[in-house]
A and B are shown apart, each in its own frame.
Chain A
Amino acid sequence: MTVSARDLAVLTRFSGRLFWRDRAAQSTSVGLFLGLGIGLPFLMDRLRPGRPDFVVDQHVGVLTMVLVLATFGQITITLTARRDQLLLKRMRATGLADRDILGGEVANLVVQGTGLAAVVSVALYALTSLPVPRDPLLYLLAVVAGAAVLCLLGTAFTAAVPRAELAAVMSMPVFLLSGFGAGGFGPLLQMAPEWVRAVFELLPSSAVAEVARVAYAADGSLVGDLQAAAVPALKLAVWAAVGLAATARWFRWEIRRP
């Protein structure tokens, strides 16, 4: 294990400890994740019994939406607060590399997001007619890659947030648009004009939902799955590159000097 990998592991664990001490973070990132992630598909299952395809659509849409909340939203809030309180500056005063400080936060939220997605999925398998994904590995990849890319984008987004108090408000539109695009509010996008659908399909959250739907599709093969997931995977890769480049260019480690 290289020194950097050790630091990354230390920081991931440290970020996790801080997260689980933060009641506000738990109520939004965990409470809303589980409440909406389980509640809405459960409701759909009761309203449309015997239609597991509806439950899959609802589950994937809502899961993508709450994943945005628990990754993009949470990292925006956490990093702007630590930036404004000069905690990031204090951490940089140690020998830790910048990439490890940010990487630890990203890794923690990816682990948490994946864990929460697992809890939601297992609860729905037990409580509703939601089937287990045909390709569970692809489903896992969609969640992990999606969480990582959304965290990177949230990290870059902090540069646009002038004060920590505005972080939640400013990340809310991203949460709502992602939910709309991924089908978290139902099949609203199908009623939108073609060009609107085309724009929403470019979102990273839509790519996550697309890969997850491939994993849940009743029919398919490994080769077919890989072909179907290639385009959304490419979209995620492009968004990851955008997130990394924007972070390298604009990320602020401390409050702006007057």
Chain B
Amino acid sequence: MAAIQVNGLRKSYGDFTAVRDISFEVPQGEIFALLGRNGAGKTTTMEVLAGFQAPDGGPGGGTVRVLGLDPVRDRARVRRSVGIMLQEAGFFPDLTVAQTVDAWRDFVAAPRPRDEALELTSLGSKAATRVRQLSGGEKRRLDLALAILSRPDVLFLDEPTTGMDPEARRRTWEVILDLARQGTTILLTTHYLEEAQRLASSMAIMDRGRIVAGGGMAETLAAQTGRVAFDLPLSVGVEELPVPGATLEGGTVVCRVTEPDLAAQTLLGWAGERGLRLRGLEVRTATLEDLFLDLSADEKNDERSGEKSGERNEREVV
């Protein structure tokens, strides 16, 4: 049984529908990333899964299950097995880091020792610091320390590394990966595509409340185009290049191809025969960023074609 099941979820606030009929599953021990721009519906989805919000009433609202339980109806039981790192939640500013963790240890069953939680989140040296004196990144780490105190079976992480410096971010990634290796199921939302690609085995990209792309991370990226880029030699035109679909972006040639390594080989052979150098050559396989940008480009094209067809219709009506 999947640890997290979302089936046809819909959530509205008044006239505004934040999440529209989305479905996905997260098997136990996997890390699943929910991606999307601000307002895409990621946090609402997570809040429903965490039991803070109920799906829309009636059969159109869909169902969500966490460890086989309804997170709203069985909230107390679900929360005992779940750790939640909210995107926005306050701290008691006058308590120290150690006092905060100690207080939270009283709130959960069988908690980790305080030092272990602080060590995992690299906050040991801040134990005696008042929460109001912590930086944004340190507060996120304290957030994580509180979320993992109860050794949860399922962990919800909403933008877990926002505000962290690169070193803290990498250490946090290690903690998250370790937890998944130990069997914790993790659902995370993030703006950092590199983070999602590094951590998650599956993902869904949301836009305006819908899932517009999703599946296994490796399979999804394998289906995407890679990228070969280099500075266009002075005496050469783009149309002369031996790779189809090359475009000029500034002075840089960009080729989007399914097999960028083969394209690079072809280009280097072609350049070698002509005694040309391909300065600034970059070869990389598809990344989430590419996928994300492709989806955005598709969306803009759809909007433009929608506007044009609207204009045409108007003309026809007139």
A contacts, CB < 8 Å to B: 7, 10, 14, 18, 21-22, 82, 85-87, 89-97, 254, 257
CB of A94 within 8 A of CB of B89, answer no
B contacts, CB < 8 Å to A: 13, 50, 52, 76, 79-80, 84, 86, 88-92, 94, 103-104, 106-109, 146-147, 150
CB of B107 within 8 A of CB of A96, answer yes
Q: Which residues of B contact A82 (CB under 8 A)?
A: 90
CB of B106 within 8 A of CB of A86, answer no
Q: Which residues of B contact A254 (CB under 8 A)?
A: 52
Chain A, residue nearest B93 (CB): A85
Chain B, residue nearest A254 (CB): B52
Q: Which residues of B contact A21 (CB under 8 A)?
A: 94
Q: Which residues of A contact B106 (CB under 8 A)?
A: 10, 14
A90 to B108, CA, bound (A): 13
Q: Which residues of B contact A90 (CB under 8 A)?
A: 86, 89-91, 146
CB of A18 within 8 A of CB of B108, answer no
CB of A86 within 8 A of CB of B107, answer no
CB of A86 within 8 A of CB of B88, answer yes
CB of B76 within 8 A of CB of A95, answer yes
- Shortest distance between the CB of A100 and any CB in chain B (Å): 9
Partner of B86, one of A10, A93, A257: A93
- Shortest distance between the CB of B106 and any CB in chain A (Å): 5
A-B contact pairs, 18 of them (CB 8 A): A7-B107, A18-B94, A22-B94, A82-B90, A86-B88, A86-B90, A87-B89, A87-B90, A89-B89, A90-B89, A90-B90, A90-B146, A93-B84, A95-B79, A95-B80, A95-B109, A97-B76, A254-B52
CB of A94 within 8 A of CB of B79, answer yes
CB of B88 within 8 A of CB of A94, answer no
A87 to B150, CA, bound (A): 19
- Shortest distance between the CB of B80 and any CB in chain A (Å): 4
